Amino acid sequence: MALDSQSAAPGLFVAVDVCYLGSGGARAALAAASDLRFSSVAWAKTAMTATAAEYRPGEFWRRELPPLRAVFHGVAGLALIVIDGYVDLDPGGRPGLGARVHGEFGVPVIGAAKSLFRGAVHAAEVRRGRSARPLYVTAVGISVPDAARMVGQMSGPYRIPDALRLADQLARGVEQTPR
């Protein structure tokens, strides 16, 4: 499925994030919208897992994918997933979290990472709001230039798009009503 900012397939567009809890578990959150700009978050959802895998550099997906499976349980009609992270970790296509999410759920995935992963020289830099610091955008199922344009156009005045910010806050347990 090809997506671009002018013509999008109907369906559900979601932004997701995961937070690791002191108890050893994890909380995943998603913010869902019906448009690519995430101009209005229609609903949000969280899910918990009792355990989380240990962090391994370059294998972040092993830690993130189980809580994401939990939060996506029962969610239908996905058209696009936006993650806080990388789709692929280098120009050779070494799979990151986003590639694993794409493989699991079969829809286009955009990765919007807050920090540069060593070797990810292929990521498009997107500056939003007044921030001098970019987001690093990668994608699968959609071209990186189109994904970068979409991240740049996502709702919100700050560096982090509102939908990703909401998913982050909900994953951390900061209760907030979707706008």
Greater pLDDT, 140 or 62: 140
Evaluate whether residue 4 is within a structural domain: no
Evaluate whether residue 2 is within a structural domain: no
Evaluate whether residue 86 is within a structural domain: yes
Q: Which residues contact 107 (CB under 8 A, 6 or more apart)?
A: 1, 78, 79, 80, 81, 141
Residue 30 to residues 90, 96, 146, 168, Cα–Cα distance (Å): 26, 19, 22, 9
The pair of three-digit structure tokens given for residue 153, joined into one six-digit string: 């156009």
What distance in Å separates the CA atoms of residue 22 and residue 132, rounded to the nearest whole number?
Answer: 33
Q: Give the pLDDT band (50/70/90) at residue 10.
A: confident
Evaluate whether residue 75 is within a structural domain: yes
Q: Give the pLDDT band (50/70/90) at residue 175.
A: low
What distance in Å separates the CA atoms of residue 152 and residue 134, rounded to the nearest whole number?
Answer: 10
Q: Give the pLDDT band (50/70/90) at residue 176.
A: low
How many structural domains comprise the chain? 1
The pair of three-digit structure tokens given for residue 158, joined into one six-digit string: 């700050």
Q: Which of 142, 78, 156 is nearest to 111 (CA)?
A: 142
Evaluate whether residue 92 is within a structural domain: yes
Q: What is the pTM assigned to this prediction?
A: 0.89
pLDDT in tens, 76-114: 999 999 999 999 989 998 999 999 999 999 999 999 999
Evaluate whether residue 166 is within a structural domain: yes
Measure the CA angle with vertex 107, ends 45 and 71; round to 5°.
20
CB 137 within 8 A of CB 126: yes
Domain of residue 65 covers 12-171
Greater pLDDT, 2 or 33: 33
CATH number for the domain harbouring residue 116 = 3.30.2170.10
Tell whether the model's pLDDT for residue 177 goes beyond 80: no
Tell whether the model's pLDDT for residue 18 goes beyond 90: yes
Tell whether the model's pLDDT for residue 32 goes beyond 90: yes
Evaluate whether residue 46 is within a structural domain: yes
Tell whether the model's pLDDT for residue 136 goes beyond 50: yes
pLDDT of 3 reads 54
**Could you tell me which residues are beta bridge partners of residue 83?**
16, 111
